[in-house]
A and B are shown apart, each in its own frame.
Chain A
Amino acid sequence: MAKRPIEPFLWTLFSAGGVVAALLVPVHLFLQYLAFPLGWLRAPSYERALALAHHPLGRIYLFVLCSLPLFHWAHRFRYTLYDGLQIKHINELIDLFCYGGAVVGTALAGYLLLTMA
């Protein structure tokens, strides 16, 4: 794969995303998508969920949770296809899909959280 000057920057995003995915995602996933839906713990009310998305710290938390891990995915997924499945002839397309997806997701998270009514 050709070396590009943007590579160190992308690697930093990958690394930061890896930290977020390791520290924050397991507990958030366990509570929101397993413990609450399965009724092991009482799910927060709508008002409570809205309050979290309104609070400045809650917004920063949700934004970090939805942005950096996407760049982590982009980096790993790109190399999984490259090294694992040895798909090397459509590099540009894969890069566009991975990093484009991460940028779109980040922009969407920023938009949704900033314009929360």
Chain B
Amino acid sequence: MVSIAADAVGHEMKQAPAYSEFHPRWYRSRVSTYWWLGKWAHLKFILRELSSVFVAFFVVLTLLQIWAVRSGPEAYAEFQEWLRKPLVITLNVISFFFVLFHAITWFNVAPRAMAVRVGGKRVPDVVIAGSNYAAWVVVSAIVAWLLLGG
């Protein structure tokens, strides 16, 4: 270990830094509000972030459905009927594609988020992404079994 002496030690700090009259100001170029429209990679980033809005929409629907189940058979039947409206179906189709987009992008960056090492060697990205997709298939099958009547 090398001991490092801080330059500031032993010197009192000045309360207000002294600026010269012509102190340089930060230069920040203005970025357009629509900067993300220019490049596919940027648009993809914004679409991925926007997928969260559809995730929230899904949660709101699920809360409404739980509410309907609580309220009794008539309320539940009414809610199921409401789900058949073309507008609701359309929104859910869009939602489904956004949620899929989220899942795929999420699993694809998993190798960069989890650097798993076995025996001192890093597990290849393909193996980590692959195990995520495998988990997706298994979990989806369990959920389907649960919802389809167990």
Contacts and interface: CB of A to CB of B under 8 A. Distances in A.
Whether A associates with B in a native complex is yes
Interface string A76-115: 1101100011100000000000000100010011001101
A44 interface: yes
A108 B63 contact: yes
Interface in B56-72: 56, 58-63, 65-67, 69-70
- Of the listed residues B36, B63, B67, B77, the one surrounded by the most CB atoms of chain A closer than 10 A to its CB is B63
Interface residues of A, number: 56
Contacts of B140: 23, 26-27
Contact of A23 (B36, B65, B73, B135): B135
Given A25-B58, A46-B69, A53-B66, A37 B80 contact: yes
B147 A76 contact: no
A77 B102 CA distance: 14
Interface in B94-127: 95-96, 99-100, 102-103, 106-107, 113
B136 A65 contact: no
9 contacts: A38-B89, A48-B149, A58-B146, A69-B55, A72-B52, A76-B52, A84-B36, A105-B60, A112-B70
Nearest to A20: B55
Given A18-B106, A46-B77, A31 B144 contact: yes
A66 interface: yes
B18 interface: no
A22 B66 contact: no
Contacts of B73: 46
A44 B139 CA distance: 20
In the A-B complex, list the 4 residue pairs whose CB atoms are closest, starting with the nearest: A76-B52, A27-B140, A22-B103, A73-B56
Interface string A17-54: 11101111111111111101110010110101110110
A116 interface: yes
A10 interface: no
B49 to A, nearest CB: 4
A44 B65 contact: no
Contacts of B31: 86
B143 A109 contact: no
A22 B148 contact: no
